[in-house]
Amino acid sequence: MRQMLWRDGSFWRSVHWKGVVRSLLIGLCPMVAFVQAQTLRWLAPLPGHESSWAYGISADGSTVVGFSWDADPPGALMRAVRWTSVNGWQPQDLGSLAGPGRNSRAKGASANGQVIVGDSAGTSGYMFRAFRWTSGTGMQDLGSLGGAGDSWGEAVSANGSVVVGAATIDGGGYHAFRWTASSGMQDLGTLGGRTSWAYGISADGSIIVGWAENASGQTRAFRWTALTGMQDLGVLPGGSYSSAWGISANGQVVVGTVNNAEGKYRACRWTASTGLQELGILPGFDDSDAFAASGDGAVIGGKVRIRATNSWRAVRWTAQTGMRNLNRIYADLLANGSILYSVFGVSQDGRYLVGVGYNASTGREEAFLLEDARLCPPPDPDVDGNGCVDDADLLQVLFAFGQSSTPLDINCDGTVDDADLLLVLFNFGSGC
């Protein structure tokens, strides 16, 4: 029989050596599986450009859309691009409505990646026009509300037939819109105020989310259907602001940002049964946002931010794990100095996350595609997220011993048990 000693040398627990080996195997096998299942791919900008951002992803993860940016004046230029697995993830310039040398951005993709939407510099003096792109038609100008004005495309239904975004209106301001080939651009109105903007759409195109001003000029997250019209999703107790940035494919989970009674901004999710729920914050950060969700809403991606420095870090949230910093979870995939800033898109099954970060190997901001074959993150014994595996982490695991469906289930096997405890013990002092 061997003894496991506490750090100060005092007797803590006696265990059979075979039991330790068995527990270690339970705890470490998931790590091996994660190493095999994880990939991080940086998506390069167009030749001669300085950076790239990814905003959307197809349901199966085979197509990523965003923009490539050349920031050097006088040739500052932003171009809509797509990256596909069949094209070796090389950037493809989708062009511009106004021709070469004009700006465009891609924001969303259909389920199969064949239809892409966004906004582009328009013709006839328009600053921006929403577009719908296919390889056969190229960019199609979707017009504007009232015909004379700007518009911006944000998201598209699974089959590519319904586009949502915002457009200027006569008399000033802008309103959320829903576009189809048969009906053109439909004004979704507001919550009594002057402006609104649509950012997300369910797979079948029947549910649209975004934000709108109410009669008091406050910003509110909304959910729209043809039957109910625009529905105010409310605010947190003591809060005054909410916005919806995305929705699950099944239309059941809305994600976005709210503020609380302290004036801090927090990532949130909404369902009809729960209402608005704050998703929390990580230690050392001030604000958080949720931008996208998997098909069933179980996996949510976004960012946390430090206000003083405007520093971003990409996060993922699940009910089982809570909010986790992707830079810690996937540290082994990041070259020295590389950072994942934010997640903007999540695939249907939650396996793929896209966004923007800093690629230390190239020394520039780049779009990224992160793949994890399992929804549970790799084991992270720093359960409180303060950067140090210490007694606080150990106590949290001890007090949660035997519980299930909790972020303290470090190895994600369903229960907080001795395997989770051992992960903390064998990493004790790491990062301190």
Average pLDDT value over all residues in the chain: 88
The token duo for 331 is 């540290």
* Residue 292 backbone dihedrals phi, psi, to 5 degrees: -155, 160
The token duo for 10 is 């005092």
- Sheet (strand 352-359) strand order: 38-43, 364-372, 352-359, 339-346
Peptide bond between residue 74 and the one before it cis (omega within 30 degrees of 0): yes
Residue at 178: amino acid letter: R
Residue at 4: amino acid letter: M
Rounded (to 5) percent helix, strand, coil in the chain: 10, 45, 45
Helices (H) then strands (E): counts for the chain? 4, 30
Q: Per-residue pLDDT for the chain (432 aa), expressed as one digit of tens each?
A: 333 333 333 323 333 333 443 444 444 444 433 334 689 999 999 999 999 999 999 998 999 999 999 977 665 789 999 999 989 999 999 999 988 889 999 999 999 999 999 999 987 666 899 999 999 999 999 999 976 789 999 999 999 999 999 999 988 889 999 999 999 999 999 999 999 999 999 999 999 999 999 999 999 999 999 999 999 999 999 999 999 999 999 999 999 999 999 999 999 999 999 999 999 999 999 999 999 999 999 999 999 999 999 999 999 999 988 999 999 999 999 988 999 999 999 999 999 999 999 999 999 999 999 998 655 556 788 887 778 999 998 998 999 898 864 667 787 766 789 988 999 999 999 888
User: What distance in Å separates the CA atoms of residue 382 and residue 380, rounded to the nearest whole number?
Assistant: 5
The token duo for 125 is 């003096």
Alpha carbon 345 to chain centroid distance? Answer: 5
> For 360-365, which contacts have Cβ atoms below 8 Å and span 24 or more sequence positions?
360/334, 360/335, 360/336, 361/42, 361/335, 362/42, 362/44, 364/45, 364/50, 364/51, 365/50, 365/51, 365/52, 365/53, 365/341
Domain ranges, ordered by start, for the chain: 39-385
* Interval 280-312: pLDDT, tens: 999 999 999 999 999 999 999 999 999 999 999
* Interval 30-69: pLDDT, tens: 443 333 468 999 999 999 999 999 999 999 899 999 999 9
| Cα-based angle 286, 291, 296 (whole degrees, multiple of 5) | 125
Tokens 């506490």 found at: 6
- Considering the domain delimited by 39-385, tell me its CATH architecture: 6 Propeller (2.120)
Q: Encode 95-107: b = buried (16+ Cβ within 10 Å), e = exposed.
A: bbbbeeebbbbbb
